[in-house]
Amino acid sequence: MRHRRYRRKRAMLNDLPLTPLIDTALTLLIIFMITSPIMHNAIKVDLPQGKAKEDGQLQEQFVVYIDKQEQLYLNEKNVTKDELFAQLVPEKLQAAQGTVYVKADQGVSYGCVIELVDTLKVAGGVRYVALATKKQA
């Protein structure tokens, strides 16, 4: 009789319910699907429109963003002008072929953008400053 009870308990332990595990995994998947695009587009910059789309496949190392409040971001990290130029060291710029991409919100004054572009051109190692636009619909 003891032997039969042991077999029943052993058989019950082998049957693990997978439904809660699958529910948890699917819930986490949905959470990641919702939060991933939000985290990727943390800086809201409304680019001006142009005939050529230069915003498409930016794989470069240096992207400077200017938002509506004229805050500067280097690769999505908030920086001051001094911090920006401290991070533009010639060794890193050489790896990026000396190119710095500027994504400025269309609400930012023209003078602010030109001042940044001019200062970037004067910085050592910067050979080319590209202004990103979005393609007209």
| Residue 50 · residue 134 · CB < 8 Å | yes
* Domain coordinates in residue numbering, the chain: 2-40, 49-135
pLDDT in tens, 13-48: 566 788 889 999 999 999 988 887 766 555 666 666
pLDDT tens column, 66-98: 988 888 988 888 888 888 878 777 666 666 677
For 49-135, the fitting CATH number among 3.40.50.300, 3.40.190.10, 3.40.718.10, 3.30.420.270 is: 3.30.420.270
| Gap between the Cα atoms of 79 and 76, Å rounded | 9
Q: What is the pTM of this model?
A: 0.58
Contact 120, 126 (CB under 8 A): yes
End-to-end CA distance of the chain: 79
Task: Please answer whether residues 102 and 130 qualify as being in contact, where contact means their C-beta atoms are separated by less than 8 angstroms.
Answer: yes
